[in-house]
Structure 1
């Protein structure tokens, strides 16, 4: 993620790395993962959504004319690679990937980010891709609002108003049609919270630097991070975020995620330069690849290589295998980001966007 000056907002990248790693932990300890530790970390998705809103606000304000193309180039190519790879795995090893179904219609809907239901679970074929259905809908809504208003700030305001109405309709009149009900989710409030954080972050540049560092800023940042972290860890399981049929995920996961992202942003000026910060920033840059490809690592290790060890092993063995799985997933994400996604991004940006070299930092936002 780039700042207004063209530099990387390191706190956002670090938060992305932490959020993606939390999702890896969550899936490792799902029934299909089988590592057997307490299952938490689904809230990594909510942190991602808040960060996505933050990024989209900056992209819309700076590159309004290329907004949708920038987002499609960033999200779609490597997602299609992962989707077709998962399709191949399901067809080759159907007994190992027993929650996914492959059909021409399902593959088409997966590729076009159209929500649908399988017999065993909701689509798409790449299970983690459900979040991208929300992402792409959010992008399209913002793009249409930008087109209608021809002004970035008014466009963001219009998109926010329409999405709030959509969420309210889900609370008061949930649809019986799955496609509509899917988009009535309170998750859109997380995107909009990220947009609001961007506005506050940009306005904070007008505050003298001496007020943005020091004990007071550290205390506020620490308070946000601690409160948000506790809120996420104490929130209910991801499968139980509906109270009496009402979607309350924003209240349970979204608000703590907003606090975590806000606290992270407050630490930006205090982050030290050094090897560990550089490593975390690189992992943040690879977090989208980590999110898309970690299921393959977990599948390979838990359902093929270590299936027997996980079934009969004690906690220390399972912990060692969990650390190994996480390390391999992180390593694979960096490799994919550097040698597959990175080259694809550079080629498409050069051919489709044709921007000046001085503007390239602005068209490389992350998910």
Structure 2
């Protein structure tokens, strides 16, 4: 068998289809709602080519593990390194410290091919938007590289013990096991399912199956054209008709994977459907186009141009242009240079290995320096540094008192100068953001705050979160039951939620019977939300004074970065504000529900808007100091404005709270 298969126009065309699908999906071009599946197409192609190389060389007794790794590095590293260097240089001038620090972390992850682990671990309640991560797309390169490392080792080890035909069957068995794992993790750990190799390996192994089991041996009477048509139909069905909201990969990923398998199996190098000058041009440049398209998408978001059709068109054109330059000026020259270093003997091989490693090592060291230096804030003046630092100005008790997922934590007791409990607070992340303000509002000697909160968990005893790994229902049962079933008390309960977010994103459903949390559930509706909240608040209010905070203002972008970026361009830029009328309109439904609940249950309402929106304008920053750590959570500086609001709780209750 040949060491290197003849150029496959059909596979090159599949690369073009894959990169176009991903690119147009990320640029949010209408009609490409399932374009994310382009990555799955790439995985199948990669598995096919790697299997072809490994098995043929093993069969001929000419496989070199070191040579295989060098070949892969020669193909992947140069263009990736150029992208990372460019982002670091540009980031030095335009990224605020927290953004630059994150870029340093991600460039190190990309160059060491572990970025998929970074993005998996970062997925959390306070995580930044995906469209703010310049190298998010490198997760797929990391998954592929991890596959490249393990796959040949396993094949070689198996080949020494088993016949090659048995090894081929083993590939199928492992692919099936990986697919089953992916289907399971879709429901139990979807973030891991998306980013990690074990549940993704089946897609690359599917390409291996195509290589090891040519379909023409098994499907007599079916023409290659018919096979190709079936494959393309499956691919296009995914690209055009699958929704972004589907859980992915999971069982649905079999559709584009099978489509890619069939198209490769058909071996239609002269296909009039997909093989033409355009697909040839794009396919050859698909790697560089893929590398550069996502940073351009992020740049459009960064400069608030992502929804402008003209700028989207310019971004797509720029992607092709920069992708072409990367292919001609980086990919091809670097491959020629590294091949020129190729030779027999220890020294030539060592040189061939070390030369492509030097630049990545330099980038990794620079990235580590950026991370350890916290994004090098000294690049900017004190005003920019102060604005950027607001993102870290968060509740110091957050690690001990606020679980994002998993088991609920015990209640925390903080603040106050007395020894008893002056007030109970329960809620979600918005409660965390104002907990210390409530503690500071407690009159001297009155006691402390007993605080309980859980991420994305409305204070409704029938609510159960649809988010992965959430134990919202268990949290509410644990802490609400104590309030509802406990003895009457004059100690007030303050409930703080991100109310309108639940009505907008609907991340919860409602159990029909609280004694059977695994039983039937009721889908989210505003009416069901109001009914569940009314039942809960009325039950608590029957035993204790209850205070509900009305919604806090939120903003369209993260305030620390927004203010810092504005200051980089103009130290006299205005503070960030938004009209109070707009905020009231956005929160109208949630506010109306809370008002009705308070009336029915005899609860009190606390309105943060007078403190946060003086003069008809809601403040995002004051004297260029942000009041929020992101776009909706107040930071420790901002929540000081709510101390007088919370003090009203104790002014009303002064005659009834028993000081312990």
Find the counterpart in structure 2 of residue 286 from structure 1. 285
Aligned residues: 324
Check conservation: 1:145, 1:155, Cα contact below 8 A: no
Name the structure where helix makes up a greater proportion of residues: 1
Segment drifting more, 90-99 vs 184-193 = 90-99
Query: What's the CA shift string for 1:232-261, capped at 9, x where partnerless?
Result: 432231x5415xxxxxx1521333332144
Instruction: Report the alpha carbon displacement of residue 342 of structure 1 after superposing the two structures with TM.
Output: 1.1
Instruction: Report the alpha carbon displacement of residue 69 of structure 1 after superposing the two structures with TM.
Output: 2.4
Find the counterpart in structure 2 of residue 42 from structure 1. 36
Aligned pair 1:251/2:237, yes or no?
no
Q: CA RMSD in A?
A: 4.2
Aligned pair 1:16/2:15, yes or no?
yes
Segment drifting more, 159-168 vs 66-75 = 159-168
Instruction: Report the alpha carbon displacement of residue 193 of structure 1 after superposing the two structures with TM.
Output: 1.0
Check conservation: 2:293, 2:319, Cα contact below 8 A: yes
Q: Secondary structure at the match of 2:6?
A: coil
Map of 1:37-116 to 2, 5 A cutoff? 39-63=33-57, 64-65=63-64, 66-94=67-95, 101-103=102-104, 106-114=106-114, 115-116=117-118
Q: Residue 144 and residue 339 in structure 1: after superposition, are their counterparts in 2 closer, same or farther (change >3 A)? A: same
Find the counterpart in structure 2 of residue 245 from structure 1. none
Segment drifting more, 293-302 vs 191-200 = 293-302
Query: What's the CA shift string for 1:95-144, capped at 9, x where partnerless?
Result: 699698234x5543332112123442689861110101210111111122
Aligned pair 1:342/2:332, yes or no?
yes
Query: What's the CA shift string for 1:311-345, capped at 9, x where partnerless?
Result: 5x5xxxx2x55444323312321221121111111
Instruction: Report the alpha carbon displacement of residue 37 of structure 1 after superposing the two structures with TM.
Output: 7.2
Q: Residue 343 and residue 120 in structure 1: after superposition, are their counterparts in 2 closer, same or farther (change >3 A)? A: same
Structure 1 distance, partners of 2:17, 2:180, is 31
Find the counterpart in structure 2 of residue 230 from structure 1. 237
Map of 1:136-215 to 2, 5 A cutoff? 136-149=145-158, 153=164, 161=173, 165=177, 168=180, 182-183=195-196, 185-201=198-214, 204=216
Q: Secondary structure at the match of 1:43?
A: helix
Q: Residue 219 and residue 300 in structure 1: after superposition, are their counterparts in 2 closer, same or farther (change >3 A)? A: same
Structure 2 distance, partners of 1:165, 1:124, is 32
Structure 2 distance, partners of 1:227, 1:101, is 38
Gap regions ≥5 residues in structure 1 = 30-34, 243-248, 356-367
Instruction: Report the alpha carbon displacement of residue 16 of structure 1 after superposing the two structures with TM.
Output: 0.1
Gap regions ≥5 residues in structure 2 = 58-62, 346-660
Find the counterpart in structure 2 of residue 120 from structure 1. 128
Q: Residue 224 and residue 100 in structure 1: after superposition, are their counterparts in 2 closer, same or farther (change >3 A)? A: farther
Q: Residue 230 and residue 241 in structure 1: after superposition, are their counterparts in 2 closer, same or farther (change >3 A)? A: same
Larger Rg: 2
Query: What's the CA shift string for 1:244-290, capped at 9, x where partnerless?
Result: xxxxx15213333321442355261443699x724422321110111
**What TM-score does the superposition give when structure 2 sets the normalisation length?**
0.42
Query: What's the CA shift string for 1:23-49, capped at 9, x where partnerless?
Result: 1111111xxxxx677644101101111
Find the counterpart in structure 2 of residue 217 from structure 1. 224
Structure 1 distance, partners of 2:7, 2:52, is 13
Query: What's the CA shift string for 1:38-88, capped at 9, x where partnerless?
Result: 644101101111111111111112343232222222222322222333334
Q: Secondary structure at the match of 2:102?
A: coil
Structure 1 distance, partners of 2:301, 2:286, is 21
Instruction: Report the alpha carbon displacement of residue 222 of structure 1 after superposing the two structures with TM.
Output: 1.6
Q: Secondary structure at the match of 2:103?
A: coil
Instruction: Report the alpha carbon displacement of residue 195 of structure 1 after superposing the two structures with TM.
Output: 0.7
Find the counterpart in structure 2 of residue 359 from structure 1. none
Check conservation: 2:15, 2:286, Cα contact below 8 A: yes
